[in-house]
Structure 1
C-alpha cells in the first residue's frame, strides 16, 4: 500500500508483475481524499480558515482510524482499536467521507460517489465491513471533539470611526479565528510575539520604505521575477502546501499509515498556525502598508514620506497586518516536513494566480523564504512581520512534531 502508484518499468519483469498483482494500483486513499477536500474548497471558494479546519478534522479522523489497526503511533485523542485484518483503506475512506459530509451536507451525492469509488477495489468481506465501521467511529468521535471549538462564533469586529463619519464598509476576515480551539497549542496566544516596532524606530523606517519602493503597483525597482513571485503567492491557504506534502510522501514511498500520519501532522500544524496568527493580528490590529504609506504624515517620522496614492501590487488581504499569515503557515509546514521527511529533492507548485508559472525548490527553507519575500513584493507585509511570522511557524511546527502522533514507544509517556 504505497502512497504512490507502482511505476511500470520496461526493463524489469519483476516490477511489471508487482504492478499487475498489487491490490491497490491506484492513488493512495489518503491523497485521494485530500485532493477531494481541496477541490471542494476551490469550487465553493472556501476561505483558508474553515478549509483548514475541515482538512484537519478529516486527516486526524483518517489517521486515528488506520492507526487503530496496528497502533504504530500514539493516537491524537481517540482510543480506538481494531483487528489487524481490518481494511485500512476502507477505514480511511469512510472516515474522510463522514467528516466531509458533516461539513458539506449539500454535496452528499458527490461525496457518496467518491466513497463508492474508494471502496470499490476492496474485496467484500469481514475486513471491509470492519474497516467501514472503524472509519465511521473515528469520524463520529472527531466531529464530536470539534463540535464546540468556537469556529461558528459570529464576527464582531468594530470599525474605528466617530459618529456620522464614513469608513470603508468591508468587514475584515477571520476576526474570531484566533479564539478557536487549537489542535495542539494550549491557546491561540501561546506563541503571540511582542508588538511591532515603534513608528519612529530604525526597523520601522527601513521596512516601510522598502515596501513602498519594492511593493508598489508600479514599482520601478521590483524585478520581473519578483513581480511573478509576488503574484504567484496571492494563492493562499492549505491548497498551497498540500501538493508539497504529497510530493514529500511520494518521494519517501510512505505506506498508508505513515502517509496518514504526515497529513494529520501537517494539517494540525497548518490549522494551529492560522489560529495563532489571527490571534496576534487582531490583538495588535496593526496597519497595512497601504494605510501606513498613505498616512505616513501621522507618524511625525520625517524619514518615511507620505505617498497619497500608493497602491500595492495586489489587493491587500482583509485583515490586520502583523504578523504575516502566509509566512507562519509555510514555515510551520516546512518545519514539520523537515523533521519528519527532511529535504527530499526537487519539489514544485503551480498557482491559479500566476497561470503558466511553476515554482521549483530543492530545499524547504528556500520555499519558506520565497513565500515571505513574496509578501513584500506584493506590498502586503513589512519585512519584520515576515520574520516574526516565520519564527512563530517554526515554533508551532516543532511543538507539533515533539508532542503529537509519536512512535509507539511514546504512547506510555505523559503528554506534553
Structure 2
C-alpha cells in the first residue's frame, strides 16, 4: 500500500456528485488512498499528465484487473509494443482520414433518420430519443456489428462499464457484465464469416484482415463498445443540456461565433464522461513524499484533472469561450483515446449542429431537471425536453 494519506469518501454521494470531494482532495491530499475504493487516487493534473506517460511505472497491464477478467486482454490493458501493434492494426478503421471520408457521411445518415422520426409530443427524454440510438447506430457501423439492435449495443456497453467499475464487488453487476460479453461474442461470431468474405473499414473488418488473434479481436471489440457507446451518448446529451442552461453560449455556437467542437471540448472538460483510468504500479516509485509499492492499484482521476484550479480559471463553470486545450478528457499519454476523432465527428460535426438546426426552440422542462450520476463514467441519466413542431 502507498504511504499516501487515507481519505474516506461517501461512495453514494461520490457517485451523485464527485466534484466537491475531488476539489477537497486536490487541496488537502492530491495523492490519497481511498479505502472505500481500495485504491490510491491521483487528483492533480500535473501528476496525472506526467505519470500517464511513465508506462514503466504506471502500467496499464493489469492481469488481475476487472477489465481483463471481464472483457479479455485488450490493447488498453497492454503497454509498449504489445499496445502499439494492436493500435496500429485498428488505425485504418478510425484514422482522421477514414472518419472524414467514410464514417462522417454514415453518422449524418443516422442523425437524419433518427431526427426525422422525432415528434415533440409532450415531454421527450432526449437521452433515450436521440443520444442513445444515435451513438449506438454509429458504433454498430464502426465496429462492424451491424447485426445487433441499437438497444443491445447500449445495454451491453452499459453492462460492461458497470462491470469494470464494480470496485465494491456487487455480484449482480458482474452477472450483467458476463451476459453482455456473451451477447457481443455471439454477434461477433455471426459477422466474422460475412466480413471475411467481404472485408470493410469497420474495426472487426480491419482486425480480421490484420491477422490479429481472435481472442484479441474479441477483447478489442468489447473495448470499443465499452467506451464507444457511453462517451458520445453522454457527451451529446450533456452538451445539449449545458448549452440549454447557458443560452448566451448556445447563441455563440448557433451563430458560428465559436465552433461546435469547442463546445464539445469544454463539456468534456467540465463533465468528463470518462472520469478515471486505473493503473498498476510496476515497480517501487515515489511522487513527492508518497511512496508506492509494486502491484498496487492507482486511479488517474481525469475528472479531477480537468477541474484543476492550477490550469483552469473558475473550473467549476461551463464556458465555451474557455481555452480547454489542457483538458485530458481523452487521456494524455500513449493510451490517448484511439476513437477520439470518431467521437469528435459524431458529436461536434454531426449531432450538435443537426439537433439545434432541426429542433426549433429546443428547451428544458422547468419542473423536470435532468438526473446525472457516476464518477468513473459520468453522464445524464435522462434529459427531459420539448420543442416546437
**One fold, TM greater than 0.5?**
no
Band the TM-score falls in, shorter-chain normalisation: under 0.3
Larger relative strand fraction: 2
TM-score by length of 2: 0.24
TM-score by length of 1: 0.23
Larger radius of gyration: 1
